[in-house]
Amino acid sequence: MVYEPKPIPTDGVELGPDLHDLVEKLAENNHDHWARQRIDEGWTYGEQRDDTRRTHPDLVPYGELSEGEKQYDRTSVVETLKAIVRSGYEIRRRK
């Protein structure tokens, strides 16, 4: 079987600058969900990732992640928000 990913096309979808805070909040939330799942599975912080010992260097608060790791979470959030908009939904803050 050959798997061929078919994500919702988000080319041309622009998110307004008013969503910057939401993106950051959701990126942190995404990291926290990931970390909670790993901790629940018995993983702990370690300077090196070790699948056998279940240690991972990213089991730290979001604010302590490298900029590259934060960007990974932000990209995931941005693509999700763009897919929501492309699917016909609006994202706006309640007044």
What is the domain partition of the chain in residue ranges? Answer: 17-86
Cα–Cα distance between 51 and 21 in angstroms, integer? 34
What is the predicted pLDDT for the residue at 22?
95
CATH 3.40.50.150 fits 17-86, yes or no: no
The pTM (predicted TM-score) of the whole model is: 0.89
pLDDT in tens, 33-88: 999 999 999 999 999 999 999 999 999 999 999 999 999 999 999 999 999 999 99
Give the list of residues 6+ apart from residue 2 with CB closer than 8 angstroms, or none.
none
Cα–Cα distance between 58 and 93 in angstroms, integer? 31
The closest of 93, 66, 76 to 24, measured between CA atoms, is: 76
